[in-house]
Amino acid sequence: MESSRSVLLAALSDALSGALAVWAPSDCVGCGRHDRGVCGDCATAFAAETPHSTVRLGETVWCGLDYAGAARRALLAFKDAGRTEAAGALSVPLRRAVIAALTAALADADGPGGIRIVTIPSDRSAAMHRGFHPVNTLLAAAGLRSTALLGHGSAHLDQAGLDREARARNLAGALRVRPGAGSVVGLRVLIVDDILTTGSTIAEAARALRSAGAEVCGCAVLADTRLRADAQARSQEVRMNSR
């Protein structure tokens, strides 16, 4: 049901954006140009990005974009300002990151077998405010389908503003395999999220899936905040050395 809604939302947003661009141009969510939801230059720039891999908290993650500049503005507008017409352009680098992660997973596999895409559930209050799941909407726009295996476990605080150590502590036990998901023992999964910061959210998702018996084959995200993560890592190293 969620996947069907996401597909419909993405299709309607793209169609409406194209129509409104002719009759009532809007500001591009990436550069602010008075054109359409995502102007041609920004869409081309997003599509031209080459996925890169990074390792956070022991998990290898494939990333479609750097979380900076036009990409950061577009993703924030998509998630927090209801600019869902950006889904089409943002789905292109996410799809490439997913394909890169799947390719790497299959290359390392001992044998054939399907890999299911698993997304991370939104915070309850954020989900109610937005009315849609950002990652599922992007995957739908990319022609990809996810499996809803994860649900919320113990309560946790908002992650914004927390450093690497605090994020890891905050998320411990925050996710679990949903009781109605059935057995996941031996299931091969790829975790997909929107933004990678310290890696705590993806690490918690991987922990929950592995503890239930699933095999985590890889991870993919749309955007990587590597500059912020590097700064946090350096700050943590300084604190460790000063003890």
At 23 the pLDDT is: 46
Q: pLDDT by residue (tens digit) across 93-139? A: 999 999 999 999 988 766 556 899 999 998 877 778 888 999 999 99
Q: pLDDT by residue (tens digit) across 146-163? A: 999 999 986 555 555 556
At 173 the pLDDT is: 80
Q: In 31-55, which positions are buried (b, 16+ CB within 10 angstroms) versus exposed (e)? A: beeebbbbbeebbebbeebebebbe
Least confident of 16-25, 106-115, 169-178, 189-198: 16-25
Amino acid at 62: W
Are residues 87 and 78 in contact, defined by beta-carbon separation less than 8 angstroms? yes
Instruction: Tell me the pLDDT of the chain averaged across its residues.
Output: 83
Count of domains forming the chain:
1
First to last CA, the chain: 52
pLDDT of 20 higher than 70: no
Q: What is the mean pLDDT of residues 76-94?
A: 96
Domain that residue 38 falls in: 2-241
pLDDT of 44 higher than 70: yes
Q: What CATH number is associated with residue 25?
A: 3.40.50
Smallest CA-to-CA distance from 61 within 162, 187, 193 is with 193
Residue 52: strand pairing partners: 63
Residue 198 CB neighbours (<10 A): 24
Amino acid at 148: A
Residue 224: strand pairing partners: 66, 196
Phi, then psi, of 82 in degrees rounded to 5: 70, 20
